[in-house]
Structure formats: C-alpha cells, structure tokens
Amino acid sequence: MIKFRREDIEADPAILHKMKMFVRDNLEGEFKLTRDDYNRIADEYEYEWHPSRNQELLRRRQQQADVEIVEELQANVIVFDPNNLTPTFMARLIHYIDNCEIEDIKQDSDLYRRAGISRQLFARYRAGDAPGKDKVIAIALALQLNLAETKDLLESVGFSLSNAYLFDVIIRCAIIAGEYDVYAINTVLRKNNQPELPYPDIPLNEYKQSLPAARR
C-alpha cells in the first residue's frame, strides 16, 4: 500500500496536493464523481491532514477532557457503566440488515454470499469473532451502506478509512459516488496495485440486478 505519514504531509503541502490530484485525475472518472463529491473528499483531506487549522476547537476539547479527568481523580472513583458500551460489530450489522432496503437480502446467506464470505466464516462473526477490514468493507458494499454507516461498521472492530492509504481513498471515493459494484471497484484497485475485495458468490446477472439502477 502507498502510505503518507502525517508528519511528511504537514511538512510538505505538495504531498497533500498530490493526493488531491490523484483523486481528481483518476478516481473522478472511474466512479463518475460529481464536483460536490470531489469537494467533500478534498474537505476531508484538509480536516484530517491539517488539524492545525482546527487548533482552537481541538484545544477546547482537550481542556474539557482534562477537566473531566481531574474531577474523576479527585473523586477517586473509576466509573464503569456496562450499559454505555459501544455496540458490537454483530449488533451494528443486525441493525443495518434490519434496515436494509435491498429486497434480495432476507437472511444471512443472502448477505454473506453477496459479500463473497463463506458460511463458516460468517458463523464465526455471529459467534463473536472480529472480521478483517476487507470483509467489513465487502459487507458494507453488499448492504449498500453510505459512507457514515460504513465508517460506523468499520469502527466497531477498530478499523477506519484513512486518507493515508490509497486503498482506503479508493473505497471512500466509490461509496461517495454510490458505486457498490465490487467488480468495478476491484478493477480500479487492480489498476492501482491495491488488494482486491472478495467477489460475490452469486450469479453475475443476479448481482448486477441488485445494484442501484444508475450503476448497472
């Protein structure tokens, strides 16, 4: 994978510009990104790679966090509320399955076959095992989740879509553009020497029919 270190980016703004131009010149055409889509991506680069532009907000948040830590230490109490735990991956996945508008996904097998995941592996997720990042993304694409929902599902197992990795940038651009066709996304990944996602384990015509009409 291509990786840009945060300190390199902050030291050399040209690196940030290079990544923006890569998105514009390569992915904009691949995924039919609109100008608004591209602006959203560029804005995220600015926020994630140049936090110094948000120093006042970060400083206030840190001050508030410091106050809360001091108050807790003064009270000499460590509070643990099991009711405030973050929902597990499977809990979040069940929520998204229940709210899925894709008619062809009615049970587990419909989902894991569409995501290119074996029955045995999906059963392990049901039992509490954490999936790998590529499998989470494959599931998110199968459910046609938006960017916020995809990030939510990834975060439940400790992953994210970082602007520091080309693979993540491509996935982010695809989802923003509403491109959920794994075959199309893998073509872009392969052209950029990135690892590919699992292919659906269902007939191609059946899979294509489940995609958004504009993307078939």
- Residue-wise pLDDT tens digits, 76-87: 554 545 555 667
191, part of any domain: yes
113, part of any domain: yes
Per-chain mean pLDDT for the chain: 78
- Show Cβ contacts of residue 173 under 8 Å, excluding neighbours closer than 6 positions: 23, 27, 30, 31, 33, 37, 41
Longest dimension (CA), the chain: 64
**Mean pLDDT across 153-158:** 92
209, part of any domain: yes
187, part of any domain: yes
**Mean pLDDT across 128-150:** 94
The dihedrals phi and psi of 3, each to the nearest 5 degrees, come to -130, 135
Pseudo-torsion of CA 76, 82, 87, 90, nearest 10°?
Answer: 140
- Show Cβ contacts of residue 210 under 8 Å, excluding neighbours closer than 6 positions: 102, 104, 114
175/159 Cα distance (integer angstroms): 16
User: For the ranges 13-22, 109-118, 137-146, 154-163, which has the lowest average pLDDT?
Assistant: 13-22
Q: Which among 92, 63, 83, 111 has a CA at the least distance from the CA of 210?
A: 111
180, part of any domain: yes
Number of domains into which the chain is organized: 1
Q: Which among 209, 212, 210 has a CA at the least distance from the CA of 175?
A: 212
**Domain span at residue 51?**
6-215
Determine whether 66 is exposed, middle or buried from the number of CB atoms within 10 Å of its CB (0-12, 13-18, 19+). Answer: exposed
Q: Which pair of tokens denotes residue 78?
A: 């460590």
Contact between 44 and 163 under an 8 Å Cβ cutoff? The reply is: yes
Q: pLDDT tens digits for 190-208?
A: 998 999 999 999 999 989 8
pTM score: 0.70
Say whether pLDDT at 187 is over 80.
yes
Q: pLDDT tens digits for 96-133?
A: 988 888 888 888 899 999 999 999 999 999 998 999 99
199, part of any domain: yes
Q: Which among 95, 118, 115 has a CA at the least distance from the CA of 198?
A: 115
What is the DSSP secondary structure assignment for residue 165, as one 8-state letter? B
Question: What was the pLDDT predicted at 1?
Answer: 39
1, part of any domain: no
H-state helical runs in the chain: 6-11, 13-22, 28-30, 35-49, 55-75, 89-98, 108-114, 119-126, 133-142, 147-155, 166-176, 182-191, 204-209
176, part of any domain: yes
Say whether pLDDT at 150 is over 90.
yes
Say whether pLDDT at 216 is over 50.
no
